[in-house]
Amino acid sequence: MSPARTLLAEEMTAIEWNAEFFGVSRRILMENAGRAVAREVLRRTKRLPYVAIFAGLGGNGGDGFVAARHLAPRCRIVNLVIIGDPENIQNEAAAKNWEIIQKMRHSIDLHIVRDTSELPKLSVHVVVDALLGTGVKGKPRTPFIKTLRLMNQMEAFKVAIDVPTGIHPNTGKPTTPDAFQPDLTVTFHYAKVGLAKNKEHTGKLVVADVGIPPEAELYVGPGDVIRATQPRPIFTKKGDFGRLLVIGGSTQYIGAPILASMGALRSGVDLVYLAAPSQVIMAATSHSPDFIPVTLNEKKLVNADLPLIEEVLSKVQAVLVGPGIGDHHETLDAAGKILSLANRQKKPVVIDADALKVVSRVMKVGVNTIITPHAGEFYRIRGIKVAKPLLQRAQQVRDLAKALKCVVLLKGPVDIASTPAETRLNWTGHPIMSVGGTGDVLAGLVAGFRAQGVNSFLSACAGAFVNGAAGLLAYQEKGQGVIAFDLDNYIPKILSKPMASPIAYNFRIPISE
């Protein structure tokens, strides 16, 4: 594969999870990765070489196990040096391959190093680094430092699997002076960003195909949700995972901002300020005590509310404008001024519902903005109807993202999220979600992720997946009659076990003309 495109380590991990969700297991990916390494080693060595593979206990070590198995029939000696106790292998695919390695007593010389004093002195033609993968970004622990020194001192052709141990996969900077110094690095699917930034420390770079289907990148999957929902450190305090301001509601639309605020809270954001008319605030606080009420002066948003909005805006990490806001001319004027305030304070903005009419007027929102139109709202903004075939529709969404220089999330049977450069399709959901309010929950989810520091595009992708999967799960368990408030009970289930999410690909939607 071409090394032209690069990925962050977190992006690659998400793609691997998505591939597994779509049926290509991590064990298959590990098999293909290890075989690719063995193939590249054999291409560069004379017949029947002596090989030493130094492996850790994680996925990178599992790649090394597979490489050892494929090299065994073609080498005079394959030494597999495992750093650590194999009983502590947690990676499921690596554990399965370790079971195989234990039975290869004649073709592989196995060295288990529980203490660095047990490191063997080997004379080989090739040394392979399978110690630590892209999941380790800090300084390697002492056993690995001593192992790296030994490996670097060996007079042999040196090969790194995926990323040389001791090189940060995203920055390319060495995390230790003893970072592995390979002649060849075999990485998978796409090169990691750090490899492109530190070509001197990678040797020759080979990007190997490991069988990841294109859909694992084109379709939003649970890997994107896993990436957007990182575990909380033990000393996390209130506010560390974001504060969000939701501005919406009117005498006509009371439920929309409540649904959006609940969706935001379910995303995991710590605090939600709800700025709305008094009638909405009364309904919201009676529904849940979790909101922080910000009562507007009138029965709708007006310019007189701007000083209060500006004060609260300074306390939050993101703002959602639009759910139930109505289309009174002064309300839309105030909404436009709020967008300017947020821009000046460099606060990310999610624009939904009637507030999208402001976008159609100004046609510029900026890189820190996410808009969430449905087909009708898209038409009002862009002046063209969305195409039925998905590929044409996706191009239309990307064109709008380019014009506005923002993230666009087009809601529909298949949601489409796009930046000016990248587009993803989300297939979760069910036609039952045409009921009112599910779009408000989606806007809240997206804004909640954004307030937690998740980037705009990933927020849109993860929000769409979770919202649709929660709706489909609600339908599967409740049947007809699902309402938007039902999604509240299912969102935590999707977030806690995204790989178990239901998904439907049987929508009869044409891909192209």
pLDDT tens-digit series, residues 443-484: 999 999 999 999 999 999 999 999 999 999 999 999 999 999
The three-state secondary structure class of 407 is strand
Dump pLDDT digits (tens) for 363-378. 678 889 999 999 999 9
Decide the pairing of beta strands 407-410 and 415-418: antiparallel
Enumerate residues 6+ apart whose C-beta is below 8 A from 204. 183, 184, 185
What SS3 string covers 223-266? Answer: HHHHHHCCCCCCCCCCCCCCEEEEECCCCCCCHHHHHHHHHHHH
- The average confidence (pLDDT) of the chain is 93
Asked, colleague to colleague, whether 6-218 and 238-500 share their fold, the answer is: no
What's the pLDDT score for residue 244?
Answer: 98
- What is the distance between the alpha carbons of residues 1 and 68, in angstroms, rounded to a whole number? 23
Res 410 pLDDT > 70: yes
Percentage of residues in the chain having pLDDT higher than 90: 87
Site of tokens 């922080």: 292
Residue 380 DSSP one-character state:
H
What's the pLDDT score for residue 2?
Answer: 43
Contact 354, 374 (CB under 8 A): no
Res 330 pLDDT > 50: yes
Q: Does 3.30.450.40 match the CATH number of domain 6-218?
A: no
442 token code pair: 């989606």
Question: In degrees rounded to 5, what are phi and psi of residue 271?
Answer: -135, 140
Enumerate residues 6+ apart whose C-beta is below 8 A from 311. none
In the chain, what are the domain boundaries?
6-218, 238-500
Task: Write the class of the CATH domain 238-500.
Answer: alpha beta
When computed from its CA atoms, the radius of gyration of the chain, rounded to whole angstroms, is 26
